[in-house]
């Protein structure tokens, strides 16, 4: 008895004399074989499960709740049950899925235990498109979106505990980074706009525009209201309460087609 393979079946094919036109179907592979866990992954996480679909898309379900989904074109989606990217607890699933049983209260009577929902761990959600676009939603609520060419925007909530708003790198929860909140827009070449808040201590609050070459304009409300324009060559214009300072590294020239007036309580030159 011979059964024809169905569309989508996986199997072993032999080609007589390496002729691609002379293929012989030797047999179908069982679905269980198609979903076998790679040995390296099995060693790291004995509770991992693999689902490999006929479309060549596959998904890996880790024991700690982490999921990875990969499409044939390279599109990647990852849901991480931790916020720092470290190796998770492989037995996490076992702890969360223990069966709850009925307990007898009398000889033949029993009562049903109330269902207690599983505790939800913090998650990182990562989506990487085949085009190179990237979306990252961290466990603490901050979001990073990046285009294929490299433009990106990062939004960090005031409850951020695991990422540095300036660099996006993981930080410890006890660091002062958790008290900061920021929106960072960055272009492909490196131009950056930062909107920085400190909602907990109100120690620092400003808006900064920085070019890829290093020129900056900073508008600050806290701790001291001031405006600063800084050139990469060292020239600085600073406006603060009660003072306006202009510093030049090199020559300073004032040119006017009309009258130049210098007026002050005290004028000192030299």
- Tens-digit pLDDT profile for residues 23-55: 888 887 766 656 666 777 777 788 888 888 878
Residue closest to 34 by CA, chosen among 13, 56, 15, 14 = 56
Cis geometry, peptide bond prior to residue 223 (ω within 30 degrees of 0)? yes
- Average pLDDT of the chain? 76
Q: Are 103 and 113 in contact (CB under 8 A)?
A: yes
Q: Are 163 and 175 in contact (CB under 8 A)?
A: no
Residue 269 structure tokens: 């030159």
Rounded to whole angstroms, the Cα distance separating 153 from 136 reads 11
Q: What is the pLDDT of residues 161-217, one digit of tens each?
A: 555 656 666 555 555 555 567 889 999 999 999 998 876 666 788 999 999 999 999
Q: What is the pLDDT of residues 55-100, one digit of tens each?
A: 888 898 888 788 889 888 888 888 876 544 444 544 444 444 443 3
Task: Return the pLDDT at 157.
Answer: 67
Residue closest to 155 by CA, chosen among 182, 190, 126, 128 = 182
Please determine, for residue 255, whether its predicted confidence score (pLDDT) is greater than 80. yes
Element (H or E) spanning 181, and its range? strand 181-186
Rounded to whole angstroms, the Cα distance separating 143 from 127 reads 12
Task: Return the pLDDT at 107.
Answer: 47
Give the residues across from 104 on adjacent strands.
Answer: 110
Q: What is the pLDDT of residues 105-141, one digit of tens each?
A: 444 444 545 545 444 445 678 888 888 898 888 766 7
């Amino acid at each position: 008895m011979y059964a024809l393979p169905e569309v989508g079946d996986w199997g072993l094919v032999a080609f007589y004399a390496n002729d691609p036109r002379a293929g012989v179907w030797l047999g179908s592979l069982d679905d269980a074989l198609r979903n076998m866990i790679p040995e390296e992954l099995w060693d790291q996480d004995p509770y991992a499960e693999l689902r490999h679909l006929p479309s060549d898309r596959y998904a890996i379900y880790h024991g700690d709740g982490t999921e990875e989904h990969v499409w044939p074109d390279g599109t990647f989606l990852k849901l991480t049950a931790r916020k720092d990217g470290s190796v998770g607890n492989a037995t996490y699933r076992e702890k969360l899925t223990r069966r709850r049983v009925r307990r007898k209260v009398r000889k033949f009577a029993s009562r049903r235990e109330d269902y207690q929902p599983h505790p939800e761990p913090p998650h990182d959600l990562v989506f990487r498109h085949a085009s190179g676009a990237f979306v990252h939603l961290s466990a603490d609520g901050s979001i990073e979106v990046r285009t294929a060419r490299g433009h990106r925007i990062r939004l960090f909530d005031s409850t951020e505990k695991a990422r540095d708003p300036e660099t996006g790198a993981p930080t410890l929860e006890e660091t002062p980074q958790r008290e900061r909140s920021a929106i960072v827009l960055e272009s492909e070449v490196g131009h950056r706009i930062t909107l920085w808040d400190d909602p907990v201590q109100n120690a620092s609050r400003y808006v900064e525009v920085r070019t890829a070459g290093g020129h900056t304009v900073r508008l600050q409300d806290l701790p001291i209201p001031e405006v600063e324009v800084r050139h990469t060559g060292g020239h600085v214009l600073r406006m603060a309460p009660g003072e306006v300072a202009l510093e030049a590294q090199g020559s300073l020239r004032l040119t006017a087609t009309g009258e130049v007036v210098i007026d002050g309580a005290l004028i000192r030159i030299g």
